[in-house]
């Protein structure tokens, strides 16, 4: 690797790390931000709005891909991803300065959501530019290896955001962090922005794009050529369904849903959960580069599809083992305690609530939602018409009060039968970052590391494959859209949708069917329709 090639990779990757860092800060601090900017609403409604504001950033990513992909194919790669990082960095810095709802009222959440939309649009344009730029600088036979450094950026950005948050929390303490310290990670991003812009200004335009532009061969209408032409649009669909869809759900399961599962279902405290994920990312990140390098030897397709297949086959046993090690008392209770909700079927609806906007009012629904939020495994059976709602714990009826947030009698009954109380001593806990040598923490980190390995298999080679699928004149536009639909929609909505499935079924593992089904579809479609691309000459396409 030459000095110039190293600089290209460093500049592209470093800027993308900072951009992912900015994007993930909100997700990591959603509950605190909800309390700051949606304080006029009850806690449950506040959390819904915070989740929706987070989801907004994912939902607009494909639109950012279209807008900035078009600019990148007309104006150039370098200037486009310079613009995207400026939008992301400035938006994030403003969040750190933004007065809360107690200060400026409803303007605060409106501005916040607007900034989230800008972040999503910028991220939609960033990835395609960085991946295309690096690939078009890569020598033949090394595109998988070179672009794999871009693939580390999302994980490194998440890792960096977790480290900065943990450090700030530790220094300030939780009360001060919740009051004002949460702003510090957002404000620090302006330093990262300055470094990124300074480095990227030193870059030259991609040689393939510059040659194409000098010869007058660049596209004048990349959107039309990319999506109105069936020959290219067909490849876009194959790239989505046979590639990025499965890659996206495996990625978000291995990192975001794993964090959500630890905190919301296994009731591991936030500090410990973040440390467990951070260590697994630290151990696993190098495998992005390994699988990118390996894809130059054996191909992109076999590694990505094998990752999807292994993940689909392994998610259930791996997550069960995580439960067994992180909260053994909960595992025992799930196996030994039988909880049943009995109700007139007319009073029971579905609990599918992927974006958290529905409000349940029927006692049957509030009872099941409460049990799901308490990580209690339950089944639903139907009584005669006109009967009320009964909660049965090991065959004994427990008085149920139609309360949406708490029900002391039910809670006491399930805990008396064996479900662990909050803060149970058997739940994994880390007092400092180096508690990884404790057997319980080490076991959980090892299992999380396995999930990260699945992530590196599907994600390490994907940038090279997407670049190689499309001609240079419409490459930025064509590759960005399937990537951001696969990751922003199928992946980004995974945590909320998976928990909605958990609540609907009463089974803490049922949410895993979401990534298993989509990863399996990608395996089958990719196996049949996805071409192998590692030997494609991208300079002549």
Q: Tens-digit pLDDT profile for the chain (541 aa)? A: 678 888 888 888 887 787 678 767 877 787 788 788 877 766 656 666 766 677 777 788 899 889 998 888 888 888 887 888 889 889 889 989 999 888 888 888 889 888 888 988 888 888 888 888 888 888 889 999 999 998 888 888 888 888 898 889 889 988 899 889 999 999 988 888 888 888 888 888 778 878 888 877 777 888 888 888 898 999 999 999 999 999 999 998 998 889 889 988 898 987 898 889 889 988 999 999 999 999 999 999 999 999 999 999 999 999 999 999 999 999 999 999 999 999 888 878 877 765 555 677 888 888 888 888 888 999 988 888 877 788 999 999 988 876 556 788 888 999 999 999 877 889 999 988 888 889 999 999 999 999 999 999 999 999 999 999 999 888 888 988 999 899 888 988 887 788 878 888 889 999 999 999 999 999 999 999 999 999 988 876 5
Q: How far apart are CA 3 and CA 94, in angstroms?
A: 36
Between CA 274 and CA 96, with CA 483 as vertex, the angle to 5 degrees is: 45
Sheet holding 390-393, edge to edge: 379-382, 339-343, 390-393, 396-398
144 and 40 inside one domain: yes
Number of domains in the chain: 2
Query: Domain containing 9 — which CATH number?
Result: 1.20.1250.20
Threshold 0.85, pTM exceeds: yes
Residues 6+ apart with CB under 8 A from 43: none
Q: Are residues 55 and 189 in the same domain?
A: yes
What is the three-state SS of 47-66?
HHHHHHHHHHHHHCHHHHHH
Token code pair at residue 450: 């396995």
Say how far apart CA 57 and CA 89 lie, in whole Å. 14
Same domain (yes/no): 407, 502:
no
- Do 309 and 345 have their domain in common? no
Tokens of 378: 């339950």
Looking at the fold, whether 73 and 135 belong to one and the same domain comes out as yes
Cα 410 to Cα 372: distance, rounded to the nearest angstrom: 12
Range of the domain at 478: 3-326+430-540
Residue 423 inside a domain? The answer is no
Note whether residue 501 is domain-resident.
yes
Please report whether residue 425 resides in a domain.
no
Confirm whether 408 is domain-assigned: yes
The DSSP output letter for 472 is G
Mark whether 74 and 57 lie in a shared domain.
yes
**Domain shared by 527 and 386, yes or no:** no
Q: Please say whether the beta carbons of 368 and 380 come within 8 A.
A: yes
Q: Are residues 407 and 489 in the same domain?
A: no
Is 422 a domain residue?
Answer: no
Taking a C-beta distance cutoff of 8 angstroms, is the pair 223, 477 a contact?
yes
Identify the domain boundary among 417, 445, 479: 417
Among 391, 417, 443, where does a domain finish? 417
Residue 424 in any domain: the answer is no
Domain boundary among 393, 417, 441: 417
Given a contact cutoff of 8 angstroms between Cβ atoms, the answer to whether 123 and 61 are in contact is: yes
What CA–CA distance (Å, rounded) separates 339 from 328? 18
Evaluate whether residue 125 is within a structural domain.
Answer: yes
Asked if residue 497 lies in contact with residue 504, where contact means CB atoms within 8 angstroms, the answer is no
Whether 34 maps to a domain, the answer reads: yes
Residues 337, 311, single domain; the answer is no
Residue 536 CA, chain-centre distance (Å), reads: 31
Same domain, 139 and 258: yes
Is the distance from CB of 388 to CB of 363 less than 8 angstroms?
Answer: yes
Question: In a 10 Å sphere around its CB, with 0-12 CB exposed, 13-18 middle and 19+ buried, how is residue 541 labelled?
Answer: middle
Whether 251 contacts 458, CB under 8 Å: yes
Distance (Å, whole) CA 490 – CA 513: 13
| Inter-residue contact 439 to 228 (CB < 8 Å) | no
DSSP 3-state helix, strand, coil percentages of the chain (rounded to 5)? 75, 5, 25
Phi-psi region of 267 (alpha: psi -120 to 50; beta: other; left: phi over 0): left
CB 467 within 8 A of CB 143: yes
Nearest to 292 by CA among 153, 143, 156, 157: 143
Do 516 and 459 belong together in one domain?
Answer: yes
User: What CATH number did the domain enclosing 338 receive?
Assistant: 3.40.30
Token reading at 407: 């029900």
Do 497 and 355 lie in a common domain? no
């Amino acid at each position: 690797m030459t000095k110039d090639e190293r600089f290209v990779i460093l500049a592209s990757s470093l800027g993308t790390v900072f951009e992912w860092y900015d994007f993930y800060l909100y997700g990591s601090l959603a509950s605190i931000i909800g309390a700051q900017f949606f304080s006029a609403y009850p806690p449950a409604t506040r959390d819904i709005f915070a989740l929706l504001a987070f989801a907004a950033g994912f939902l607009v990513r494909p639109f950012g891909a279209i807008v900035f992909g078009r600019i990148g194919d007309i104006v150039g790669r370098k200037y486009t991803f310079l613009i995207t990082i400026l939008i992301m960095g400035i938006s994030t810095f403003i969040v750190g300065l933004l007065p809360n709802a107690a200060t400026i009222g409803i303007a605060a959440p409106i501005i916040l959501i607007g900034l989230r939309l800008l972040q999503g649009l910028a991220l939609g344009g960033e990835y395609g530019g960085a991946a295309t730029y690096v690939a078009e600088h890569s020598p033949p036979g090394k595109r998988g290896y070179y672009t794999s450094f871009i693939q580390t950026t999302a994980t490194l950005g998440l890792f960096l955001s977790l480290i900065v948050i943990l450090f700030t929390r530790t220094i300030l303490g939780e009360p001060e962090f919740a009051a004002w310290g949460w702003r510090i990670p957002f404000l620090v991003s302006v330093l990262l922005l300055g470094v990124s812009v300074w480095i990227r200004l030193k870059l030259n335009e991609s040689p393939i794009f510059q040659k194409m532009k000098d010869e007058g061969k660049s596209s004048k209408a990349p959107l039309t050529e990319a999506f109105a032409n069936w020959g290219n649009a067909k490849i876009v669909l194959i790239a989505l369904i046979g590639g990025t869809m499965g890659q996206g759900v495996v990625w978000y399961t291995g990192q975001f849903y794993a964090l959500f599962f630890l905190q919301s279902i296994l009731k591991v405290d936030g500090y410990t959960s973040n440390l467990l994920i951070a260590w697994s990312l630290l151990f696993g990140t190098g495998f992005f580069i390994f699988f990118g390098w390996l894809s130059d030897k054996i191909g992109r397709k076999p590694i990505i599809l094998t990752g999807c297949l292994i993940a689909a086959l392994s998610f259930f046993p791996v997550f069960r083992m995580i439960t067994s090690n992180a909260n053994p008392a909960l595992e025992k209770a799930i196996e030994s305690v039988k909880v049943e909700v009995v109700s007139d079927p007319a009073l029971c609806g579905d609990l599918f609530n992927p974006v958290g906007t529905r409000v349940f009012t029927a006692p049957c629904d509030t009872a099941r939602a409460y049990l799901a939020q308490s990580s209690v495994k339950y089944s639903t059976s139907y009584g005669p018409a006109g009967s009320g709602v009964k909660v049965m714990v090991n065959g004994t009826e427990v008085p149920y009060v139609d309360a949406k947030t708490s029900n002391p009698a039910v809670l006491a009954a399930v805990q008396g039968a064996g479900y662990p109380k909050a803060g149970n001593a058997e739940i994994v806990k880390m007092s400092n970052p180096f508690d990884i040598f404790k057997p319980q923490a080490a076991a959980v980190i090892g299992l999380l590391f396995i999930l990260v390995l699945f992530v590196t298999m599907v994600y390490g080679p994907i940038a090279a494959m997407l670049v190689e699928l499309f001609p240079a004149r419409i490459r930025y536009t064509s590759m960005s859209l399937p990537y951001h639909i696969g990751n922003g929609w199928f992946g980004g909505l995974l945590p909320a949708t998976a928990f909605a499935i958990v609540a609907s079924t009463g089974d803490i593992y049922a949410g895993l069917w979401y990534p298993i089904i989509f990863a399996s579809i990608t395996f089958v479609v990719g196996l049949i329709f996805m071409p192998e691309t590692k030997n494609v000459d991208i300079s002549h396409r």
